[in-house]
Each structure stands twice: as structure tokens, then as C-alpha cells.
Amino acid sequence: MMRWLVLTTLTLLPVASSAQTAPEKSAQGDVAVTIYSNDVALVQDTRQLNLPAGVSRQDFADVSTQIRPATVRLSAAGTTIVEQNYDYDLLSPSALMEKAVGQVITIVRTNPATGAETREQARVLASNGGVVLQIGNRIEILRDDGLPVRVVFDSLPPNLRARPTLSVTLDTQAAGTRPVTISYLTGGFNWSADYVALFDEAKSVIDVQGWVTLQNNGGTRFTNADTVLVAGNPGSDNRGRSSYAPGTRAGTETADRARLGDFYLYPLGARTTLAANQQKQVSFLSVNAVPARKIYAYRNDWQQGQNDPQSVDTVLSFSSAKSGGLGDALPAGTVRVYVRDAKGQPQFIGENSIGHTPMGSTLAIKTGEAFDVKVKPTVEKREKILSDEWERTGKYRITRDGGTPRVIEIERSVTYYRTTMSYRVTNARPEAVTVDVTQAGLDSYWHDTRVPVESLPGEQRSLDERVWHVPVPANGETVLTVSIDTRY
């Protein structure tokens, strides 16, 4: 099979001696990077430039490869922008060959047996999935046939840049050196939070370590950057998805952090280098012995039974409050939970995601499903309720045009249904447990559901949900029975 070769070795005659030198120093100045969690960042780069009076062109090399040119803002005393251009056509072997179409280049071939070199002048006819050359009166395709081949160019095309560059035409009132700041939005940046929680069930506490993971997916390095992370998605409908268990409550405490509008800022403790195509982690939270508890929970979404017993959810509950909690607002991320085994080694038991969480919140996070604790819901009976038992008449007070109120009575017959449910909760663990059994789907429309009978007192969380805290003995079972009256 023949494979086309775009370029094997590239030689530029005027700069051939610099092939082994170190990379050029970055042209960036004092850089600050604000990173959002929706693939966008704000770069602010302050450079000291000696500007001549009048109109001049200034090149800002080493801007982001994913810069959004329409967002560029320049700030310099006594200076205005006339025009700006972003030169994103970067120097590469393939780009150089594409720019050489129609031009004459030199093909150098080396005889592997003798080491002798032969040179031929060739005109590049095309560079599209392969390089087509005209050498004298013949047409050839530059191909990878295992023979040493290199291409020699006399010079670089004027519009091909070695580094991403923003070219700006400025109009300056007076000559002199001054700080010039360019700021722009760029893609290619992202960050996320990760939490490692070590849960001690015997002591009912957790130790939490919070990390932020930074990603620079672009081709530009930002050295010694003052980096700030923003917890939020400004101007975006791309909301982070989280998965909470019942019992989660939003907090009302203000965190001791800097804010940007409605978002919290998480500045890194020291300047850092964001290398091209790099991922790094930085610690931002470390708290020990935070009160926490394990909850067993089961949710029956509709008034229906199951043929087989269902494993209950294992839920870890803790607070982000200043007193008795983590003491901080938590950016969205993933919480990974560990417990120590019999040898004292931390072992992973589950994970789940959280959204941006205010300080003072109560979090209930599902970490998995219990092996030994199960619930089997059963519809024991469903019967029709006579209107005399529920509601047969209604009285209304009516006032018309400011007149005397009068009472009218209407007689109506409404059909209701009573569903009797049982929930058999079994526990194969050697210790007693309490399972929060939630029945959902009670009343999302009629708003007149009633629970006339229940073997344990329940808690109405909403019109649509009621929960019972069911104690189950070690190696035993408990049966919860409930009657629910509904319009459907």
C-alpha cells in the first residue's frame, strides 16, 4: 500500500543553524487568567511597550490559540485601536507546504547506500491529501517510500506565524514606554472540583479534601499566571447536573469568599504556570472530623408494587455550614467516598455529583445501594370510596357587585380510590437500621390526597411525597402499611 508523505524533514536555509536552539522566550507580560467552568477563560496580559507617536502596528505574540478576537479589549494611556488582526495560521510542516502551492521548492534525496545527495527544483502543484510536484517535464507525488527525503524552502511565507499572534494597529498621542493591557475571552480552559471524603461510620464523622482540576486544552503556555476560578456559568444555559438524595436542603449562609456578581471566586494560593495541553490539580479545601451520618433510603415513585425486593440506597448526609460543617460554599463537582477496611486501609465505596452548593446547606449524597437492606412494596388492595364517605356537598360564599354576601350549597358526587400499600423492609445486617421509605406520586394535580391510616407516623415532604422512618431490627424485618386516598 502506498502512503502519501506531506513532509518528512523541513529545512529553512536562512535559519538552519538555529534548529538546535532553545524555544523562544514567551512574549507575554504580567498574566492573569480567570477560568470559568464552561470552557471559557478571561486572559489579561499587561506588557511594557515602547510606542511611537502616531499610527503603528504592534504584534502581541503568544496569545491563546483559541482566542475570541471579537472580545479583545486594549487599554493603554493615550492610545486607541485602529484595527486588529488575529493571525491564527501557525507554522507547521503541512501549513508550510500548503502555502508553497504554486511556488518552487528544493527536493533533497539521500542515497541510503552511498549517502550521496541529489537536489531537484520542483514546483508545488497541490497539497491536498498528498503533495503533487512538477519536476521538469514530469509530475510526481511526494510519497513515503522509505528513502530519506527532505524539502528545502528559501523563506517563510509572510502570513505564516510561528506563534499565535494578535496584530493591532494603534494610534498613540505621544511616544514612550507604557503598560499596555490586552484582555480577551478564550476557549480551551476548564476546571472542576473533586472531593475526597473519608467516612468514619463508628464516629459519625468525615474528613474532606477538596481539589480543583485545571485544564488548558489550548496550544499556548501561560507562565506564572495569577489564576482565579469562578464557580458558575456566566451567560450559559449549560447547567451542571447533580444527583442528590432526599434530605438535601439549600443553605442560607454567606461564605467568606470574594464574589463576582452572583458567583464565588476561588483564587489559587500562588501564581502557577498553565502549560499547553496540561491538566493539574490544586487543593482548596481540607476539613477533618465533620459530623456526618449514613442513611438508608428507598423511594417508590408510584403507588405500585414490585415483584422482587429492591435494594435501598446508601446515602451520606453532612452539612456545609460554618458551624458543624465544611464551612464553605462548594463548587460543583464529584464527591468520592472512602471507608477504612478491617486493616485500616481506605477503600472506595461510591461517588456522586453535587451542584454549586451554598454554605449552610445539608447534603444527602447517594453513594451506592445496600447489599443487605431491601424493601418490597406491594399493593395490597385498591377500592372505590363512596362519595358519602369523602365529600358530598360544598358551601361557597359569593359576593356580586358589592352586594350582601350570600351562601350557596351545592351537591356533588366525586369518585375517590383508596390504595392500601405494604412495604416489607428486611435487614440482614448484624445491627439495627432505620430506612427512610418515601412514597412519591401522591398528588401532582388534584391537591386533595389524604393518608387516613398508617402503621408508623409519616412526614409529608410535599404534596407529592410522604416519608416514613422505619426501624428494622438486626437480622429482622418490619412491615409498614399505609392507606392512601386519591382522586385517581
Residue-level pLDDT at 196 = 97
Identify any residues that bridge with 231 across adjacent strands, giving them in sequence order. Answer: 264
The pTM of the full predicted model, rounded to 2 decimals, is 0.69
pLDDT at 1 exceeding the cut of 50: no
pLDDT band at 43 (very low <50, low <70, confident <90, very high): very high
Distance CA 172, CA 80 (A): 7
CATH of 41-90+161-186 given 1.10.8, 1.10.10, 3.40.1000, 2.60.40 = 2.60.40
**d(Cα 371, Cα 311) in Å, to the nearest integer?**
7
Cα separation, 64 vs 35, in Å, equals: 13
- Checking if the pLDDT of 328 tops 80, the result is yes
Distances (CA, A) of 421 to 61, 382, 424, 471: 71, 9, 10, 18
Contacts 24+ apart (CB under 8 A), 121-125: 124/97, 124/100, 125/101
pLDDT at 87: 60
Q: Give the pLDDT of residue 238.
A: 44
Q: How far apart are the first and last CA of the chain?
A: 71
Nearest to 217 by CA among 72, 65, 333, 37: 65
Extract the C-alpha cell encoding 265: 471566586
Pick the CATH number of 373-486 from 2.60.40, 1.10.150, 3.90.1150, 1.10.287: 2.60.40
462 pLDDT more than 60 = yes
Domains 41-90+161-186 and 373-486 belong to one CATH topology: yes
Residues ≥6 apart with Cβ < 8 Å to 80: 170, 171
Least confident of 45-54, 138-147, 163-172: 138-147
Per-domain boundaries in the chain: 41-90+161-186, 190-371, 373-486
What's the per-residue H, E or C state across 186-253?
ECCEEEEEEEEEEEECCCCEEEEEEEEEEEECCCCCEEEEEEEEEECCCCCCCCCCCCCCCCCECCCE
